[in-house]
């Protein structure tokens, strides 16, 4: 093929194709008209028209987290772009590779407060890994190529490309069949080479330790290192606790798996960290929801070690003795050539005693539906094999506690930013990226109303997500914190007046089911699983249930409120 004269918009679409784009989530508007014009009759990739830009970016995020590929979304300038901001911050906090394309006003009026003008590059500077304002049509191929590279390598993250309207219609000579020019990014080292000497020091420290613990985070999942982690654990025999985003990075059924740690972590997991003499974080950044009060974190640890692709995370939140910078897969592959067990003794028995004494539990009821029992039912009936997206709040923590994740990229949840409204649209993206997998989206009655409009695309495109709404008619996590921290002074948490979710689903053309008893719950859930298309399942549950364990902010990881089991 020869060079052809094309518009910037046509070049953009070809450049996206070259990067392997299969699906774009977007919403058109005045300043992306040329880009959307170029999409007429474009069969090369799918475009999903969401009903809100926030739905588009969360869907792209769910696609990216569940597949490991770069998620792509497009919005127009001004309000279209600013509607993406929450989604960009969500992806940034959780290191999700996205390429976010926004239109902007023509360069001729830029800076004049033109209609639908917003300086989205500046607005998103602190929440993007990098950003571009395209100033010449000739730059589009290079910028797209760089953006995908930057988004998907090293510590992954969202990259914004802002394209003024006139640039998207300027013409240039372009050859779609020609390979992209080699990258020239002097200021970017994608993945630092692991320092073998540091890893050797880590392995020596492990061999001398008596009470080691691994905290496995989202980095294990993102670097596709769960096999290497399993081998490392089998070689060293170190028990593993995971963060929210690390769930599935280590199989929950493994005998050395302690489940999630942190604010709502398992008792034995939190105690293991607090009693450990060596704490090894693998792809977890010692987030405050994991460490709780940092001054009281792991007080007995002689060694804090950290494997991470981002050098800036080493020692950022917790003083670290051994830092191993590198891709986790590379680091563990090298470590596995030499790894040997720690000083095996009474450590495991002590942890198992904690597990036996204080397992995750709840009191089931004959009269009310308990939310935890819903998660257990979903976990059992899907054999821990579904892709589960969650929203944010109590149901998210119960999903993390009671769903037995077996595989990486199975939990899609906003961990760092804690974005309500993420759970449902991210499931749409996950389903598009994984057409053959069962995708279950678990939401509360609060978050479901923050992006409910995307029911439209579920119905239109028959995207067969099983949408669960755990309805306790209250903002449960806030209610819990008001009860336990603010002396039960309940303030603006009542969600009475929410729509009838079954009829809401039906209004969009999605099947809706509801249960408020255990027998009905099992029956309708089975019916949902047997439904080939999308279905919304509402479970009306007990209002005043709390998530336990609960470590109140500012206290130490072992100062857990344990609820009824105390």
Partner 1 sequence: MMQIYTITVLVNDQPGVLHRVTGLFSRRGFNIDSMSVGASEEIGLSRMTIVSSGDEWVIDQIEKQMNKLIDVIQLTVER
CB of 187 to partner 1, least distance (A): 5
Distances (CA, A) of 352 to 200, 232, 237, 249: 29, 21, 14, 21
For partner 1, which is the closer residue by CB, 3 or 122?
Answer: 122
Active site residue 165: yes
**DSSP element (H, E) containing 307:** strand 303-308
Residue pair 414/244 in contact by the 8 Å Cβ criterion: no
A 10 A CB-CB count for 3 gives 12
Active site residue 477: yes
Please report where in the chains the tokens 């995020």 appear, as a residue: 61
CB of 188 to partner 1, least distance (A): 5
CB of 243 to partner 1, least distance (A): 21
Give the footprint of partner 1 on residues 82-121 (CB under 8 A).
Answer: 121
Q: Which of 6, 25, 39, 53 is catalytic?
A: 53
**DSSP element (H, E) containing 425:** helix 423-433
Give the footprint of partner 1 on residues 127-146 (CB under 8 A).
Answer: 129-130, 133, 135
Listed ranges 10-18, 247-255, 308-316, 502-510: which one lies at the site for partner 1 (CB under 8 A): 308-316
Q: Using N-to-C axis directions, what is the helix angle for 394-402 and 371-381, rounded to 10°? A: 40
Listed ranges 21-29, 221-229, 312-320, 357-365: which one lies at the site for partner 1 (CB under 8 A): 312-320
Active site residue 53: yes
Listed ranges 37-45, 126-134, 217-225, 280-288: which one lies at the site for partner 1 (CB under 8 A): 126-134
CB of 315 to partner 1, least distance (A): 7
Listed ranges 35-43, 294-302, 311-319, 355-363: which one lies at the site for partner 1 (CB under 8 A): 311-319
Reduced to 3 states (helix: H, G, I; strand: E, B; else coil), residue 536 is strand
Active site residue 560: no
Counting contacts by CB under 8 A, is residue 310 touching partner 1? Answer: yes
Listed ranges 9-17, 181-189, 458-466, 470-478: which one lies at the site for partner 1 (CB under 8 A): 181-189
Reduced to 3 states (helix: H, G, I; strand: E, B; else coil), residue 172 is strand
Q: Which of 22, 110, 116, 237 is catalytic?
A: 116
For partner 1, which is the closer residue by CB, 198 or 256?
Answer: 198
Q: Please state whether beta strands 23-26 and 71-75 pair in parallel, antiparallel, or not at all (unpaired).
A: parallel
Distance CA 523, CA 157 (A): 41
Full DSSP string of 120-160: HHHHTGGG-SEEEE---GGGHHHHHHHHHHHHHSSS--EEE
Residue pair 220/210 in contact by the 8 Å Cβ criterion: no
Distances (CA, A) of 472 to 94, 413, 564: 28, 20, 19
CB of 154 to partner 1, least distance (A): 9
Q: Which of 260, 263, 477, 560 is catalytic?
A: 477
Active site residue 116: yes
CB of 129 to partner 1, least distance (A): 8
CB of 314 to partner 1, least distance (A): 8
Q: Which of 165, 211, 466, 518 is catalytic?
A: 165
Q: Which of 3, 46, 115, 380 is catalytic?
A: 115
Distance CA 566, CA 560 (A): 10
Counting contacts by CB under 8 A, is residue 161 touching partner 1? Answer: no
List beta partners, residue 474: 494
Give the angle subtended at the CA of 518 by the CAs of 516 and 523, to the nearest 5°. Answer: 90
Counting contacts by CB under 8 A, is residue 315 touching partner 1? Answer: yes
Binding string, 184-223, against partner 1, x = CB under 8 A?
-xxxx-----------------------------------
Full DSSP string of 400-421: HHHS---STT-EE---SS--TT
Q: Which of the residues are catalytic?
A: 53, 115-116, 165, 477
Question: What residues make contact with partner 1 under the rule CB under 8 A?
Answer: 121-122, 125-126, 129-130, 133, 135, 150, 155, 185-188, 310-312, 315-316
């Amino acid at each position: 093929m020869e060079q052809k004269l094309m518009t910037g918009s046509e070049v953009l679409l070809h450049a996206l194709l070259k990067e392997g784009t299969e699906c774009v989530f977007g919403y058109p508007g005045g300043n992306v008209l040329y880009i959307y014009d170029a999409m007429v009759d474009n069969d090369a990739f799918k475009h999903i028209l969401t009903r809100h830009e926030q739905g588009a970016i969360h869907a792209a995020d769910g696609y990216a987290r569940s597949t490991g590929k770069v998620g792509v979304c497009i919005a127009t300038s001004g309000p279209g772009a600013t509607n993406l901001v929450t989604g960009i911050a969500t992806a940034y906090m959780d290191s999700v590779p996205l390429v976010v394309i926004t239109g902007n006003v023509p360069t001729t009026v830029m800076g004049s407060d033109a209609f639908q003008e917003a300086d989205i590059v500046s607005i998103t500077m602190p929440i993007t890994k990098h950003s571009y304002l395209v100033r010449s049509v000739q730059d589009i191929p290079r910028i797209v190529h760089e953006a995908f590279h930057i988004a998907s390598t090293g510590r992954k993250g969202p990259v914004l490309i802002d394209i003024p309207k006139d640039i998207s219609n300027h013409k240039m000579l372009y050859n779609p069949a020609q390979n992209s020019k080699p990258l020239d990014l002097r200021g970017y080292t994608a993945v630092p080479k692991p320092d073998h000497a540091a890893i050797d020091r880590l392995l020596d420290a492990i061999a001398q330790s008596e009470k080691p613990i691994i905290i496995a985070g989202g980095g294990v999942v993102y670097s596709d290192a769960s096999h290497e982690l399993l081998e490392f654990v089998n070689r060293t025999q170190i028990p593993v606790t995971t963060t929210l985003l690390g769930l599935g990075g280590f199989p929950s059924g493994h005998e050395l798996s302690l489940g999630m740690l942190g604010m709502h972590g398992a008792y034995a997991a939190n105690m293991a960290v607090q009693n450990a003499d060596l704490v090894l974080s693998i792809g977890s950044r010692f987030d405050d929801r994991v460490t709780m009060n940092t001054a009281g974190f792991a007080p007995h640890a002689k060694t804090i070690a950290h494997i991470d692709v981002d050098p800036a995370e080493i020692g950022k939140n917790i003083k670290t003795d051994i830092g191993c910078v590198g891709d986790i897969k590379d680091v563990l592959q090298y470590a596995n050539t030499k790894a040997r067990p720690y000083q095996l003794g009474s450590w495991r028995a002590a942890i198992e005693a904690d597990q036996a004494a204080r397992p995750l539990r709840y009191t089931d009821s004959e009269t009310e539906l308990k939310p935890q029992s819903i998660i257990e039912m979903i976990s059992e009936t899907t054999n821990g094999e579904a892709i589960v997206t969650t929203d944010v709040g109590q149901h998210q923590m119960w999903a993390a506690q009671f769903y037995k994740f077996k595989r990486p990229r199975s939990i899609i949840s906003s961990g760092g930013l804690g974005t309500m409204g993420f759970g449902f649209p991210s499931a749409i993206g996950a389903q598009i990226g994984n057409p053959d997998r069962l995708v279950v989206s678990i939401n509360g009655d609060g978050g479901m109303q923050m992006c409910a409009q995307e029911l439209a695309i579920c119905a239109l495109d028959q995207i067969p997500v099983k949408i669960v709404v755990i309805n306790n008619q209250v903002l449960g996590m806030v209610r819990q914190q008001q009860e336990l921290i603010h002396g039960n002074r309940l303030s603006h948490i009542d969600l009475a007046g929410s729509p009838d979710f079954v009829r809401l689903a039906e209004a969009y053309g999605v099947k809706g089911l509801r249960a408020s008893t255990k027998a009905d719950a099992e029956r309708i859930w089975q019916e949902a699983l047997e439904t080939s298309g999308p279905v919304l399942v509402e479970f009306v549950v007990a209002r005043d249930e709390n998530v336990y364990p609960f470590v109140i902010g500012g206290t130490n990881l072992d100062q857990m409120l344990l609820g009824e089991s105390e």
